[in-house]
């Protein structure tokens, strides 16, 4: 998949493009359905299949006080988009100037000038441009002028029967409730976070349960505090079953100001410090709680490890 950043030059002068546009945070099953239609239409018309997305979530500029935490950062999003079989992704810089741009100017610069769009496929409730003034009706009017078709599509229904469409908001809500199984159904894969393994207080090693303390960037969405079964992937691609503790360790700290992610890898003893880890959440095991003492905590950790082993078949 080609990754493009320059919107000022014609990207595909000989073929034109079938295009969809959006933040695409999570690249969830709804996004994947839209991309499938983009690829099918592009193949039928001998065009290039393209997603137009942004280098940051637009809300971080438009309404920073209420911008959502990210399900996927840009590198992961691009990896997931590449996995769909797209020909190209255009990453548009979203800054204050872009947020003030009219929907009409966006269409002229990006869809017409850069991509020579032949078909634009978006959700039926899609909005874009300054003050969200752009919508399907505007795209259709401009399509007549500039020679592209517009295909609005209904949002993908949730696979679990809940009466709402698949959305990044629904995934964040599921994660906030510790419902990683629901998040998996909406994403089409286990929820994953990435970060560097840093030195902790070594307490896990002293307890007999050494952990990789994975530092997750603040802008990323984390599930609710608790204990989970999951998988830890090393930079070499090897994966290891793990019990994940996400929380503030109330047995030892009365007023911790943020949650820590600690992954205990089953049947593993190598040094992990300094490596970049990928941690995937598979199943919620229990809520975090404070224990009366070390013995009670260690007994529970043993049960957590066995529960994780059973959940993962490891």
**For range 51-58, the mean pLDDT:** 96
Mean pLDDT over residues 202-227, rounded?
83
Measured CA to CA in angstroms, residue 13 lies from 111, 117, 183, 233, 265 at distances of 13, 11, 40, 41, 51
- The catalytic residue positions are 262
Share of the chain above pLDDT 70, in %: 94
| C-beta separation of 86 from 50 below 8 A | yes
Q: pLDDT for 136-167, tens place per residue?
A: 999 999 999 999 999 999 989 998 889 999 99
Residue 250 has pLDDT above 60, yes or no: no
Cβ atoms of 277 and 193 within 8 Å: the answer is no
Q: What is the mean pLDDT of the chain?
A: 92
Report the pLDDT averaged over residues 11-28. Answer: 95
Helix %, strand %, coil % for the chain, to 5?
35, 25, 40
pLDDT-based confidence at residue 207 (cuts at 50, 70, 90) = low
**pLDDT at residue 299, as a whole number:** 87
**Residue 283 or residue 248, greater confidence:** 283
Model confidence at 21: pLDDT above 60: yes
Distance CA 79, CA 93 (A): 18
Q: What is the pLDDT of residue 206?
A: 55
Which residues of the chain does CATH 3.40.50.620 include?
2-153
- The percentage of the chain sitting over the pLDDT mark of 90, rounded to a whole number, equals 81
Which tens digit of pLDDT belongs to each residue from 59-100? 999 999 999 999 999 999 999 999 999 999 999 999 999 999
The predicted model gives 127-141 an average pLDDT of: 94
> What CATH class has 2-153?
alpha beta
What single DSSP character describes residue 238? Answer: -
- The CATH number of the domain covering residues in 185-312: 2.40.30.30
**What stretches of the chain show up as alpha helix (H) in DSSP?**
29-45, 59-62, 74-83, 96-99, 103-106, 136-146, 168-176, 180-187, 203-207, 294-312
Q: How far is CA 224 from the centre of its chain?
A: 16
Residues of the chain with CATH 2.40.30.30: 185-312
Q: Residue 282 pLDDT more than 60?
A: yes
Residue 252: pLDDT over 50: no
* Closest CA relative to residue 242, chosen from 226, 254, 230: 230
């Amino acid at each position: 998949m080609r990754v493009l950043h320059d919107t000022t030059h014609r990207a595909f002068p000989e073929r034109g493009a079938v295009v969809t546009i959006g933040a695409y945070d999570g690249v969830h099953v709804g996004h994947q359905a839209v991309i499938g239609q983009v690829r099918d239409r592009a193949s039928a018309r001998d065009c290039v299949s393209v997603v137009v997305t942004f280098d940051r979530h637009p809300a971080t500029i438009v309404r920073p006080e209420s911008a959502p935490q990210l399900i996927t950062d840009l590198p992961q999003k691009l990896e997931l988009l590449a996995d769909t079989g797209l020909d190209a992704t255009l990453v548009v810089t979203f800054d204050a100037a872009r947020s003030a741009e009219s929907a009409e100017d966006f269409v002229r610069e990006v869809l017409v000038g850069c991509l020579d769009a032949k078909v634009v496929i978006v959700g039926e409730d899609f909005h874009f441009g300054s003050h969200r003034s752009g919508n399907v009706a505007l795209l259709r009017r401009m399509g007549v002028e500039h020679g592209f078709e517009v295909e609005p599509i209904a949002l993908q229904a949730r696979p679990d029967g809940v009466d709402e469409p698949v959305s990044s908001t629904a995934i964040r809500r599921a994660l906030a409730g510790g419902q990683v199984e629901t998040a998996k159904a909406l994403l089409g894969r286990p929820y994953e976070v990435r970060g560097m393994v840093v030195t902790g207080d070594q307490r896990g090693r002293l307890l007999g349960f050494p952990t990789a303390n994975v530092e997750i960037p603040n802008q990323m969405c984390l599930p609710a505090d608790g204990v989970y079964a999951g998988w830890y992937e090393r930079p070499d691609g090897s994966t290891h079953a793990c019990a994940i503790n996400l929380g503030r360790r109330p047995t030892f700290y009365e007023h911790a100001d943020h949650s820590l992610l600690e992954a205990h890898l089953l049947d593993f003893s190598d040094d992990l410090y300094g490596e970049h880890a990928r941690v995937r959440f598979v199943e919620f095991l229990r809520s975090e709680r404070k224990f009366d003492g070390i013995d009670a905590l260690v007994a529970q950790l043993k049960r957590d490890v066995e529960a994780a082993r059973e959940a993962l078949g490891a």
